[in-house]
Amino acid sequence: MKDAIAHRRTDRVPRDFAAVPEVWRRLEEHFGTSERSEVLARLGVDCRIISYDSFCHDPGGDPAEVDWEASQERSSLSGMWRRALPDGSNRDIWGAHRRRVANAFGTLDQFASHPLAEAASLEDLQQYRWPEPAWWDFRAVPQAISALNEKAIFHIRYRAGSVFETAWSLVGFERFLSDLALQPELPAYIMERIAEVHLANLESVLRLAGDQIDLVYFYDDLASQNGLLISTGMYDRFLREHHQGLVNLAARYGKPAMLHCCGSVYPLLPELIEMGLAVLNPVQPRAKNMAHAKLAREFGGRIAFHGGIDIQDFLPRATPDQVREHVAATSEILGAQGGYIMAGSHHIQADTPLENILAMYGVV
């Protein structure tokens, strides 16, 4: 992993893995285990995650209401803090409200409401019960990482959270984007409150366990399939400083930083590279201007690529032989100058045949 991030060719392409719960369960059944760690070992996955929301508590809440398994997005081995509500929905540590919705293949999380949807002024936002760094206790992180590395040494990344995504989850997507244009002081305040907690948490984690952490990872979906959700000018005005702060703090401790950003993030890539971002995830090739060859040609050797195996159309519909061929070709294109970590272009979805997942990871 470290060689790949440093753009050195490796003896084999490093691997990572993320999937929805239905896929995890099928793999557990296939491998005859109830442990996610065993699934990752059987797939030959090189990475493990420590997540910021595995070490928090709400000092005003009831611990009995916390459901650590509620998140449908969980690909870490530990749980993520969610308060379970009587109607079956849940809230994360920021107050974002989600519920499970069934589809043809399983379930997914969707927002049920937004706690700041009616906030109309800075005074309204200031009265919200914002999480504080004191709600986190990271003293268990060194031991948690040691447990992950008990049987082998893995590449450990710290999941630091998001700024833009968390902010709009509290307000509502359309309202948040409108406010950026019409009353920007409101979304700016929300993002500042979130970012200051993430920075304080990152400082604490790196101070406690920096020698055990290899990569700092934060996530903000800033793009759709066809382009950015906000202009580059809005990114520079409202969000860049928060991302730059995370990248800079990681660098102070000698750690590279990775951004998860779905969709066509292409217009921002030169700027992200200039900011010192080391790794881009999840590299969705069906999005505009995100074809593997184009990215490798324009940005290879300057940023590492993590992901790239299309989970939207290819992986659910291909044959196992086609999957093996595609993984080899993708690894050669995106890893031509080093700098490639093989994984799906997002969480592998429940409509994906098990044999294609096994082919993707070379499991016979």
pLDDT in tens, 39-56: 999 999 999 999 999 999
**Beta-carbon count within 10 A of 87 CB:** 8
Residue at 141: amino acid letter:
V
Q: Which alpha helices (H) appear in 112-268, and where do they start and end? A: 122-126, 141-148, 164-171, 173-182, 185-209, 232-234, 240-252
Check if the beta carbon of residue 267 is closer than 8 Å to that of residue 227: yes
User: Looking at residues 14-29, what average pLDDT do you find?
Assistant: 96
The residue ranges of every structural domain in the chain are 2-52+121-360
CA-based angle 23:27:29, to the nearest 5? 120
Residues 253, 256, 260, 266, Cα dihedral to 10°: 130
Identify the pLDDT of residue 255.
98
Pairing of strands 279-281, 257-260: parallel
Sheet of strand 304-309: strand arrangement: 47-51, 155-161, 215-219, 257-260, 279-281, 304-309, 340-344
**pLDDT band at residue 9 using 50, 70 and 90 as cut-offs:** confident
**pLDDT band at residue 74 using 50, 70 and 90 as cut-offs:** low
Identify the pLDDT of residue 334.
97
Predicted TM-score (pTM) of the model is: 0.96
Identify the pLDDT of residue 197.
98
The CATH class for the domain spanning 2-52+121-360 reads alpha beta
Q: Which alpha helices (H) appear in 214-353, and where do they start and end? A: 232-234, 240-252, 269-274, 292-299, 314-317, 320-334
Express each pLDDT in 323-340 by its tens digit. 999 999 999 999 999 999
Among 42-56, 69-83, 153-167, 244-258, the least confident range: 69-83
